[in-house]
Structure 1
Amino acid sequence: MKKILKFIKKDWFIIAIIALTFIVSLYFYPSLPNKIPSHWNIKGQIDGYSGRFFGAFGIPLMNLAFYFLFIFLPYVDPKKANYAKFPSAYKLIRYSFHMLFAGIQATVLLVALGYHINVGMFVGLGTSLLFVAIGNVMGKFKHNYFVGIKTPWTLANEEVWVKTHRMAAPLWVVGGIISAVFAIFGGATSSFIALMVIVSVISIVPIIYSYVIFKKL
């Protein structure tokens, strides 16, 4: 019992966020329509719907699944000992993902209840802030198989891992800031295109960089 209470105390904020999404969804469930918007096109227009149950509890269930996944991963990673070397960075990643899921769920519920919400802006802004958060701690990631930039070259050589993450960290922060600006001030189409371009850049550049660094060793 003491171990469970200690565990809950350590993760109380995340547990509270996930629990709140279920409670809010359950509270508004009787007021929700039978069809709930679940997908928006590049212009910010609804082009997909889900049933009421999935619309109300799909994202909270995914959030809960990710909670257990984040707990499980360090135990099965061959380099699990390294997770103890970046606990604050790993914790921030967990917090950021769970808060993003909660924010998306709140947006979906508001739209389903008839409120006029700029979904593209909120989701784009949330994703952008996630990039900034990850970028701020990326340089602290230690060698592992699940968190960070995992290419054949970063996984094969720890020096390549360190240099790649130190290079990518500011790239992710800047990319997140630019994407956030587009999400707030740009239109639905321009902000979506900007987000896709930025995702491509912050993903591809570190891959190429890790290969180049590996070849120079």
Structure 2
Amino acid sequence: MNRRALTIFSAVVVGAMLLLSAWAWFQLPADARVPIHWGPDGQVDGYADKTIGLLLLPLTTLGVAALLWVIPVIEPRRANFEKSGKAYGAIWVAVVLMLAAIDVVAVAAALGGTGPTVSADACSWSRGSSSSSSACSGPHRRSCSSSSSEGSS
């Protein structure tokens, strides 16, 4: 685990997120609402005003990266922690990238894009459509068709 490289990576990602937010700030009207929460059905069920909505995920990512940076310093069993350094680094990268991806989806939705909606049910994957016919038209079509026919019997 190279904390310096992970810190630089996190700073670049947070910087890109802030640039995206700054760009979106000028694209959105003053009274715009930005999605900040999705329900289990994959639909947006929570919004924030423009300022909070555009800064929430970049600042959260910054806080998470800072926490991930400090954990190895305060870990009392450093020797054990260093043995899992590669896994820790992979988790660090995955968490930062996941938060950045959510930020992109939230900004796109605020700008009027529909984006993907995802739920625990693979049949619910759709690209901005809530109709049941398109929900099972993706790569999981066969499994969705068989699971939905089993549930209706």
With the length of structure 2 as denominator, give the TM-score of the two structures. Answer: 0.70
Aligned-partner SS, 2:114: coil
2:35 is aligned to 37
Match of 1:187 among 124, 127, 130: 124
1:24 is aligned to 20
Match of 2:86 among 76, 85, 88: 88
1:8 Cα deviation from its structure 2 partner: 4.8
Residues 78 and 52 (structure 1 numbering): CA distance in 2 closer, same or farther, change over 3 Å? same
Distance 1:72 1:88 in 2: 16
- Check whether the contact 1:8–1:15 (CA below 8 A) recurs between aligned residues: no
1:109 Cα deviation from its structure 2 partner: 0.3
1:209 is aligned to none
2:47 is aligned to 49
Q: Deviations over 1:164-200 (max 9, x none)?
A: xxxxxxxxxxxxxxx7xx5xx4216xxxxxxxxxxxx
Structure 2, gaps ≥5 residues long: 126-153
2:128 is aligned to none
RMSD (CA atoms)? 2.2
Residues 187 and 8 (structure 1 numbering): CA distance in 2 closer, same or farther, change over 3 Å? same
With the length of structure 1 as denominator, give the TM-score of the two structures. Answer: 0.50
Distance 1:74 1:86 in 2: 11
1:7 Cα deviation from its structure 2 partner: 6.3
Q: Deviations over 1:64-94 (max 9, x none)?
A: 0011100111222221232211211110000
1:116 is aligned to 114
- Check whether the contact 1:70–1:94 (CA below 8 A) recurs between aligned residues: yes
Structure with the largest fraction of strand: 2
Structure with the largest fraction of helix: 1
Match of 1:14 among 10, 26, 34: 10
Q: In the comparison of the two structures, how many residue pairs are matched?
A: 122
Answering whether residue 70 of structure 2 is matched by residue 72 of structure 1, we say: yes
Residues 73 and 9 (structure 1 numbering): CA distance in 2 closer, same or farther, change over 3 Å? closer
Higher RCO (CA-CA < 8 Å; seq separation 6+): 2
Distance 2:112 2:12 in 1: 26
1:106 is aligned to 104
Structure 1, gaps ≥5 residues long: 1-5, 125-178, 189-217
- Check whether the contact 1:37–1:48 (CA below 8 A) recurs between aligned residues: yes
1:18 Cα deviation from its structure 2 partner: 1.6
Aligned-partner SS, 1:186: helix
Distance 2:69 2:89 in 1: 10
